[in-house]
Structures are given as C-alpha cells and as structure tokens.
C-alpha cells in the first residue's frame, strides 16, 4: 500500500503553482515522486515554492515564469519541457476571481476573467495534448468550481468561466479517448487560501472573524476546505490508480452541492 498514488518517473506541469491550491498540488506531487514544473506569472512565488520542495523533501522542482494568457509563450514552455523528457501530467490551477452580478460586471471584467480562466486553460491544454499523444498518453486535470453548476451570489463572470472550464474538460476527455489522454476536473467549494484572507481584509475590515465564520458555514460540514485536501484528490486523479476515470467532475465541497438547505 505504500506505493499507492505514487508518481515516480512522471513529469507534471502545474500552472498557478506558486501559491494557494496550485502550490499545494506541486508540493504533494513532488513528495510522491513527480518532477514538477511550477508555472506561475509571479516568478518569485514559483522560485520560493520550488526551493522549499527541494530543500524540505528532496523532490525535483523547477520554477518557470509563465503567462497562460500568452498562447505562443505557453506553447514554447510546454515544448521545452517535452523536449527534455515527457509531459505526463498537466494541472490547470492558474485562475482569477471576480465579485459582481450581471448589472455590475463590466465588459472589461468579462474579458479579463475569460482571458485567464478560459483561454489560459485552452492554451495550456492545446500545447500539452500533442506531446501527450506522441508519447502514448497523459493526464489533464482542470480546477473548475462548484460555481460551474450551482448559482452563487455575485459571481457572474467567475461562474461563466468555470462553466467553460468544465465544458472544455468534457470535450477533451471525449476527443482524446483513443490517445489515452484522461481529462478530469475538480470542483471545489470555498477553500481557505490567501485569497480568502485578502478578500475579507479588503471588503470586511474589522469584521474578518465574523465573515470567516459565515463563509465557513456555507459548507454543510461547517468549514472551508484546505488546499492540501484538493492536492490529495488531485494526486489520486493523476495517478495510475485512477486510470478508469476520465470526463469526470469531482466535487470537493463539504456537501455544498447536495446537502444544502
């Protein structure tokens, strides 16, 4: 049982790997044998994460500056990684949020969220499927959200983008079955990341504790999820033990989708 969910000999590309959920996934994958390429817009965060992985676990980690909205540079990054080995796993974790309903969402808000959350995932998947097909298979894991399938207050643009991520996941899973490329999504509910703390500080100064409790209680289990819990599910879905799973949207939501009310 000690070898379950291992990624020994596999190479993983993790976007948004310098912080939050992406960082937790990078750490988890490296601790379980994968060589991880931490792709992040903020190179300082990617470097810090890679350094921590190497120094604390002896894992293999590389920091890669990456703007997923730039199709040409994203493709070049993936091609460079493939040229030095393989691209076994792609995790699309890079993303941004937006607060607002239909009437308060501007066109440039839509464009910004779409450019990162939708086109960024598109660019990375399009760059990775070629090397994966040539090597005989691979795994793509996209970070969607419960917002893709549930109505959330003031999340118009964000929900739109995560719905698109889920649809792209299903399309890629279907189109690349014969190429042995699996494609799945994780749909988390609220996860306690630095973004949550910054959001509360900005919008609820002086009321952070009360609002944190309120947001935690939105999940029926009474708390937010942890990045490490998302990482554990990601590890399973990207491991050989999950080889019968593709085209799945797996909720990690503390009962949010099915147990509310």
Active-site residue among 122, 158, 176, 256? 158
Give yes or no: 204 in active site.
Answer: no
Cβ-contact 94, 41 below 8 angstroms: yes
**E-assigned strand segments in the chain:** 11-15, 35-40, 60-65, 89-92, 138-143, 181-188, 249-252
CA distance 97 to 113: 7
Pairing of strands 11-15, 89-92: parallel
The CA-CA-CA angle for residues 220, 226, 232, to 5°, reads: 110
Within 10 angstroms of residue 19's Cβ, the number of other Cβ atoms is: 20
Catalytically active residues are 158
């Amino acid at each position: 049982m000690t070898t379950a969910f291992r990624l020994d000999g596999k190479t993983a590309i993790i976007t948004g790997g310098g912080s939050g959920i992406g960082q937790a996934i990078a750490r988890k994958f490296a601790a379980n044998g994968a060589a991880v390429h931490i792709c992040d817009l903020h190179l300082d965060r990617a470097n810090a994460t890679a350094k921590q992985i190497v120094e604390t676990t002896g894992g293999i980690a590389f920091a890669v500056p990456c703007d997923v909205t730039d199709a040409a540079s994203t493709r070049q990054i993936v091609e460079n990684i493939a040229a030095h080995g393989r691209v076994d796993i792609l995790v699309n974790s890079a993303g941004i949020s937006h607060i607002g309903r239909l009437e308060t969402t501007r066109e440039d808000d839509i464009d910004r969220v779409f450019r990162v959350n939708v086109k960024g995932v598109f660019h990375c998947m399009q760059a990775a499927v070629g090397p994966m097909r040539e090597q005989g298979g691979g795994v793509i894991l996209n970070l969607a959200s419960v917002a893709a399938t549930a109505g959330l207050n003031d999340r118009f643009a964000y929900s739109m983008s995560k719905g698109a991520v889920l649809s792209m996941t299903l399309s890629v899973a279907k189109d690349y079955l014969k190429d042995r490329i699996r494609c799945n999504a994780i749909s988390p509910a609220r996860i306690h990341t630095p973004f949550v703390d910054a959001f509360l500080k900005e919008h609820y100064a002086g009321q952070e504790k009360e609002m944190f409790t309120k947001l935690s209680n939105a999940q029926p289990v009474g708390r937010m999820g942890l990045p490490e819990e998302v990482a554990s599910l990601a590890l399973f879905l990207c491991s050989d033990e999950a080889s019968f799973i593709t085209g799945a949207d797996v909720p990690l939501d503390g009962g949010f989708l099915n147990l509310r009310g």
